[in-house]
Amino acid sequence: MRPLGMSLTGGDTPWREQMRLIADAGFDCTFFDWEEDVEAAAQADYARSLGLSVDSLHAPFGKINAIWEDSQAGEDCLSQLLRVIDDCAAAGIGKLVMHTTVGNHPPQTSALGFIRYRKMCDHAKEKGVHICFENLEPFPHLHEIMGTIDDPFHGFCWDCGHNLCYTPHVDMMALYADRLQCLHLHDNYGVTQPGNIDFRDDLHMLPFDGVLDWDWVARKITDSGYAGPLTFEYSSRTARRHAGRPYGEFVQMAKERAEKLRDRIDQLK
């Protein structure tokens, strides 16, 4: 049976408690963001002690636009991401999810930016870490990265929620399913202000709470041949939508939704 995974959500619930509840709900794996003040290896070891595997680590992205710039900030960003790759390898996590931009107005792609991404990918391969580039707001950066970093060791992370609320006109799986290595699954209401794409629509809701066509998602995953875990990405905002519900109940609800999607995928086989 295909494994199911749930991300940590951040917020007020300590990460150890989140992992325990994710394991208690019957999830098979988890994933989480790299943080400056939390050792990824300690988190991974604790997850495994609970019987959870760790599907991936998420690289920091708040300053990722600097990677395209000829600036000290760009060099600092590169240095940090190289350290994240080392931490990912030290934690025994095989996949690192990475953004190519943040926000609606990133710098243009640049030769220097591609050199830096190539350096990161080469370093990651030496460490045994697959970099999975995630679809976000502006499309050209991802498209050019996927064309430039053509080593099949590295690949694609399909975020179906991002596809719906940022680039609904682009079938990301039609473009990159052959390089799919991991998933970020969640729901939202799509583009609520046409012509004004913005992170406000990236709600990371539970599946079937928004307007995403989950039959379409199931078909895309099935047609891709992807056999890895179904991994659901939530945030503290997701949990706040269920305010007043104990966190354990929220996680159990997330597990039930995950099983519902898995059942739909199984029906298509």
- Does residue 70 have a pLDDT over 80? yes
Please report, as a single letter, which amino acid is at residue 234: Y
**How far apart, in Å, are the Cα atoms of 95 and each of 70, 88, 107?**
28, 8, 26
Cα gap 105→136, rounded to integer Å: 12
- Does residue 236 have a pLDDT over 90? no
CB 184 within 8 A of CB 228: no
| Residue where the block lists tokens 């995630």 | 134
Over the stretch 23-39, which tens digit does the pLDDT of each residue have?
A: 999 999 999 999 999 99
Read off the tokens for 97.
């999810």
For the chain, give every domain's residue range: 4-268
Nearest to 135 by CA among 164, 114, 106: 164
Please report, as a single letter, which amino acid is at residue 123: H
CA 59 from centroid of its chain's CA atoms: 9
What is the rounded average pLDDT of the residues 219-228?
97
Read off the tokens for 202.
């990236």
How confident is residue 51, by pLDDT bands cut at 50, 70 and 90? very high
Question: Of residues 217 and 199, which shows the higher confidence score?
Answer: 217
Cα gap 212→97, rounded to integer Å: 22
- Does residue 258 have a pLDDT over 80? yes
How confident is residue 239, by pLDDT bands cut at 50, 70 and 90? low
Instruction: Give the number of other CB atoms < 10 A from CB of residue 30.
Output: 27
How confident is residue 11, by pLDDT bands cut at 50, 70 and 90? confident
Please report, as a single letter, which amino acid is at residue 174: A
Over the stretch 149-187, which tens digit does the pLDDT of each residue have?
A: 999 999 999 999 999 999 999 999 999 999 999 999 999
Fold classification of 4-268 is TIM Barrel (3.20.20)
Share of the chain above pLDDT 70, in %: 99
CB 43 within 8 A of CB 32: yes
